[in-house]
Chains A and B, each alone.
Chain A
Amino acid sequence: MARVELKNVRKVYPGNVEAVKNANLNIHDKEFIVLVGPSGCGKSTTLRMIAGLEEISDGEIYIGDTLVNDVPPKNRDIAMVFQNYALYPHMTVYKNMAFGLMLRKYPKAEIEQRVHEAAQILGIEHLLDRKPKALSGGERQRVAVGRAIVRQPKVFLFDEPLSNLDAKLRVQMRAEISKLHTRLQSTMIYVTHDQVEAMTMGDRIVVMLDGVIQQIAPPLELYHHPVNKFVAGFIGSPPMNFLEGDLVAENGALRFHDKSHTLHIDVHESQFAALKHYAGEKIILGVRPEHFLENHSQQAAPGRSMTANVEVVEPMGHEVYLYLDVGGQSITARIPVGETEPAVNKPHVLDIDTQGIHFFDIQTEAAIT
């Protein structure tokens, strides 16, 4: 097992396209780390550089204590699961899994034992004689994972392994990979564009945008303390609501007015110190959908309520998503199922949990804390 370290790693493609900019990342031994971000953010490139499939333009990559910059993939002691499974179509499942061991000249008995062990873990023993084309998407993905397991590598790399599966299977495989990590206790680096996968699987999450690492943190820290507007908006579903407005000092208190001056929010005392420098300036307010609370009396309380026009009501079973318009800005709220459902095209009063709101600098978009 091993730690993985990236020091000032850069990847520049021909045409001076900088895919990864100065990445620094320290992945601990046995850690499950998730690289997440939108398409083209550099997460897959980072993973491929760790695998050795992409040369790095600058910087250093360590696996264990070895500098692997010039080590070919086969000598890095890693295994990778690809998005399109990358199973050898002409080989049986058994041979697909055994191929890496055969190339490394393992004794036949050991190959057989390892393949059967891995097949048993993944529940694919009955498929060993089949060829990939006779398997379903989920089964193929298991074989691809099996091929990685049998090698017992120092580090597992997953490149969006679940994106070709249907939603139900994805949830199932997500849990299985997490279980596998607990069982194998090895270092795993997992790339996804799906923030739900990131939140549910990772010990820590690395959020990337435009080749830059935005934040590295455990899931809940990322959720509660995003460092900037991008991370705040990317993590969480439905995403955080952002409202632009002015921060004003009134009678010794700080108050946020939205652009249309229909919304007035009192700043919670805990955020005072950081925010007072912004008094009189434009600022971005961030509220997660669940930080809107149902106001049962439908009487607006000054400084912590808002009245908005209901545009769409989406009952989800245990809760309701409300899509509302407040002064021309669209927001989403997530409230528990009440006795009566809010009416569409009618004003609705919601309270705001002022302890849960975030503020961002309008220029840098960095969180103000």
Chain B
Amino acid sequence: MWFRVLIALGGLAALAALHRTLIQGLDRLLAALDALFDALRGKRWRDAPLALFLLSPAVAILGLFGMAPLFYAVYLSLFNSRRPDRPFIGLANYSRALTQPDFWKSLLVTVYYVVGTIPVTMMLSFLVATLLYRIARGRGFFRTVYFLPYITAVVAAATVWAALLHPQDGPVNALLVWLGFQPKSWLLESRGALWVFSGGWIPADIGPSLALFCIMLFEIWHSSGFMIVIFLAGLTVIPRDLEEAARIDGAGWFQATRAVTLPILSPTIFFLLVVSTIKAFQAFNSFYAMTGNGRGPQNTTQNLTVYIYANFYEFGRIGYGCAVATLLAIGIVVMTAVQWRLAGRRVHYE
């Protein structure tokens, strides 16, 4: 009996000793690490390995999924991927793209889309945001309602829009007929939206096709919620007494908005402009889901992204597609730089 008690006590003592040793060991390890980091911090050039170590997750993710594909695409664009031996052809894919009418047509579609959606979406969103800002009750409710389209999956929403605009079975045409108007072909119409709405007065080949116009409307509907929320956030930080000072100074709503609200909101506007321009240049989902193949009637909705996609997956022109993609990326960079230079100068940061 006593013997067992002694063994138990001995065991406990051993456990305590082990525990103490472990704690001390851990302490020493941490102290050593501390010393190591201190030593690394001591000299500036010695910071590099530690910095790299700490940055490595971000570098790995960005490098693997961002930079590597980008450089690989540029690399691929220098080869002829249609031939089994994939010969190096230099900038031939680029020169071919720049001489292809399809490339220029896709660029025009992209430009129509960018110019047709962004200013309208921004103005509309700003207007809705200023109205929402003025109402005290139900602001949260309406903000949610306007934001709903943005959180809906583009493909799902675009499919619903395509069904609504169906020339035969769509409720939009049914409504038009009920109101006594001619039904339209909407997403199947390759002639210009301006031609359709001017009753043939404007030539059919001027401006975006009616099909592209529908996609633009969809985009305005889909992304205005996001802009409204951002504008509302921007408006709420403008001190109320600035608006009151402007009112006393003699400004009406329009003058106060133009001379006071908009300049103060300029960082918000600039941010939305840059981000949405980049997004519009890369638009693909809505084009693809609304027209079935992205190209639309007589390729009138084929923007550059759809064009790249078609070259990749339909024609197997990997090298050529990569060249167009590189051109698009360069275009976006140039466009953003231009915006930065022109608009950025007029942005007022508090």
Enumerate chain A interface residues (CB-CB to B < 8 A). Answer: 51-53, 72-74, 78-80, 82-84, 86-90, 99-100, 103-104, 133, 147, 151
B247, closest chain A residue (CB): A73
Q: Are A86 and B242 in contact (CB under 8 A)?
A: yes
Q: A88-B260, A89-B350, A103-B255 are in contact. Are A72 and B247 (CB under 8 A)?
A: yes
- Closest beta carbon of chain B to A193's beta carbon, Å: 17
Q: Are B249 and A100 in contact (CB under 8 A)?
A: yes
What chain B residues lie within 8 Å of A90 (beta carbons)? 263-264, 266, 348
- Can you list, as one digit per residue, whether each of B256-272 has a CB less than 8 Å from chain A (1) or not (0)? 00011001101000000
A14, closest chain B residue (CB): B136
Q: For chain B residues 207-254, which have a beta carbon within 8 Å of chain A?
A: 239, 241-242, 244-252
Q: Are A86 and B245 in contact (CB under 8 A)?
A: yes
A79, closest chain B residue (CB): B248
Bound-state CA distance A51–B250 (Å) is 12
- Closest beta carbon of chain A to B131's beta carbon, Å: 20
**Other A-B pairs beyond A53-B244, A74-B248, A89-B348, 12, CB < 8 Å:** A51-B244, A52-B248, A72-B247, A74-B249, A74-B251, A82-B244, A83-B241, A86-B239, A87-B245, A88-B242, A90-B266, A103-B251
What chain A residues lie within 8 Å of B266 (beta carbons)? 90
A-B contact count (CB 8 A): 64
- Count of chain B residues with Cβ under 8 Å from any Cβ of A? 20
- Closest beta carbon of chain A to B331's beta carbon, Å: 32
| Interface pairs (29), CB distance under 8 Å | A51-B248, A53-B244, A53-B247, A53-B248, A72-B247, A73-B247, A73-B248, A74-B248, A74-B251, A78-B248, A80-B244, A80-B248, A82-B241, A82-B244, A86-B239, A86-B242, A86-B245, A87-B245, A88-B242, A88-B259, A88-B263, A89-B350, A90-B264, A99-B251, A103-B249, A103-B250, A103-B255, A104-B250, A147-B245
Bound-state CA distance A53–B242 (Å) is 12
Enumerate chain B interface residues (CB-CB to A < 8 A). Answer: 239, 241-242, 244-252, 255, 259-260, 263-264, 266, 348, 350
A133, closest chain B residue (CB): B350
A144, closest chain B residue (CB): B245
Q: Are A99 and B350 in contact (CB under 8 A)?
A: no
Q: Are B247 and A89 in contact (CB under 8 A)?
A: no
Interface core residue of A79, A100, A147 (most chain B CB under 10 Å): A100
The 4 closest A-B pairs by CB, nearest first: A100-B249, A90-B348, A86-B241, A86-B245
What chain B residues lie within 8 Å of A52 (beta carbons)? 247-248
Q: A86-B239, A103-B255 are in contact. Are A80 and B245 (CB under 8 A)?
A: yes
Bound-state CA distance A89–B252 (Å) is 19
A153, closest chain B residue (CB): B248
What chain A residues lie within 8 Å of B350 (beta carbons)? 89, 133
Bound-state CA distance A151–B250 (Å) is 10
Interface core residue of B249, B266, B350 (most chain A CB under 10 Å): B249
- Closest beta carbon of chain A to B65's beta carbon, Å: 40
Q: Are B251 and A89 in contact (CB under 8 A)?
A: no
B260, closest chain A residue (CB): A88
- Closest beta carbon of chain A to B255's beta carbon, Å: 6
B249, closest chain A residue (CB): A100
A78, closest chain B residue (CB): B248
Bound-state CA distance A147–B242 (Å) is 13
What chain A residues lie within 8 Å of B264 (beta carbons)? 88-90
Bound-state CA distance A147–B119 (Å) is 35
Bound-state CA distance A103–B263 (Å) is 17
A103, closest chain B residue (CB): B250
What chain A residues lie within 8 Å of B259 (beta carbons)? 88, 99
Bound-state CA distance A79–B250 (Å) is 10
B263, closest chain A residue (CB): A90
Bound-state CA distance A88–B244 (Å) is 11
Interface core residue of B239, B245, B350 (most chain A CB under 10 Å): B245
What chain A residues lie within 8 Å of B250 (beta carbons)? 74, 100, 103-104
- Closest beta carbon of chain B to A78's beta carbon, Å: 7
A100, closest chain B residue (CB): B249
What chain A residues lie within 8 Å of B246 (beta carbons)? 88, 99
What chain B residues lie within 8 Å of A51 (beta carbons)? 244, 248
Interface core residue of A51, A83, A84, A88 (most chain B CB under 10 Å): A88
A88, closest chain B residue (CB): B260
What chain B residues lie within 8 Å of A73 (beta carbons)? 244, 247-248
What chain A residues lie within 8 Å of B263 (beta carbons)? 88, 90
- Closest beta carbon of chain B to A273's beta carbon, Å: 51
What chain A residues lie within 8 Å of B252 (beta carbons)? 74
- Closest beta carbon of chain A to B274's beta carbon, Å: 20
Q: Are B245 and A82 in contact (CB under 8 A)?
A: yes
A148, closest chain B residue (CB): B248
Bound-state CA distance A133–B251 (Å) is 23
Q: Are A84 and B247 in contact (CB under 8 A)?
A: no
B256, closest chain A residue (CB): A103
B251, closest chain A residue (CB): A103
What chain A residues lie within 8 Å of B248 (beta carbons)? 51-53, 73-74, 78-80, 100
Q: Are A99 and B249 in contact (CB under 8 A)?
A: yes
